[in-house]
Amino acid sequence: MIGQQRELNLRFLAQPTDVNYGGKVHGGMVMKWIDQAGYAAAVGWSGKYSVTVAVGGIRFVAPIRISDLVTVHTKLVYTGTSSMHFTIDVKARDPMGGEDRLCTHCVIVFVAMDEVEGKPTPVPAWKPESDDDRRLADYAVKVMELSKGIEETVERLAAVNAGVV
């Protein structure tokens, strides 16, 4: 059912090949998991091939250890005409028991693509239904505005350093 899958969980065990030299799962692997879960959620919502266009507010809060049971939770919190914004929480715990701990959090944005021309295509609209939904939608928009501002600042600095400005 297109437009019905608002939330998605991916679960798996962190493997020895996922770790950095310090023995913890490295950030690049976590970002790969975020992108994979976001893609599955975007396709599940839109029913269309979707591409990542932005990741904002990524925070690495706690390390993930080898053999931890990892859950990547996505939740749709905003839709534009062709875009879908998801909050992502990456949690981990010992698979033999214990509490989940938040390890990483971010907002990721996907755009649905037309299969013929490869251009953005409309997605089913999502409307906030509760105060929590409205708060999350506002949060997602603010995170992406901040990310856009940072991107513009970096571009200005690069132009200054290149002697263009």
Q: Is the pLDDT of residue 163 over 90?
A: no
Of the candidates 33, 71, 70, the residue with the CA atom closest to the CA atom of residue 55:
33
**57 or 73: which carries more pLDDT confidence?**
73
- pLDDT surpassing 70 at residue 165: no
Is the per-residue pLDDT at 150 higher than 80?
Answer: no
HSE of 152 in the Cβ direction (CA atoms, 13 Å)? 6
Tell me how crowded residue 85 is: count the other CB atoms within 10 A of its CB: 26
Q: What is the mean pLDDT of residues 149-163?
A: 72
The pLDDT tens digits for 66-93 are 999 999 999 999 999 999 999 999 999 9
Interatomic CA distance for residues 15 and 126, integer angstroms: 36
pTM greater than 0.75 (yes/no):
yes
Specify the DSSP class assigned to residue 63.
-
The pLDDT value given to residue 164: 66
pLDDT at residue 158 in the model: 74
Q: Which fold has domain 7-161?
A: Thiol Ester Dehydrase; Chain A (3.10.129)
Is residue 26 predicted with pLDDT exceeding 60? yes
Whether the pLDDT of residue 32 is over 90: the answer is: yes
pLDDT of 2 over the 70 cut: no
Alpha helices (H) along 16-80: 27-46
pLDDT, residue 24, reads: 93
Q: How far is it, in rounded angstroms, from Cα 70 to Cα 15?
A: 10
Both structure tokens of 100 = 């989940």
Instruction: Using pLDDT thresholds of 50, 70 and 90, give the confidence band for residue 149.
Output: low
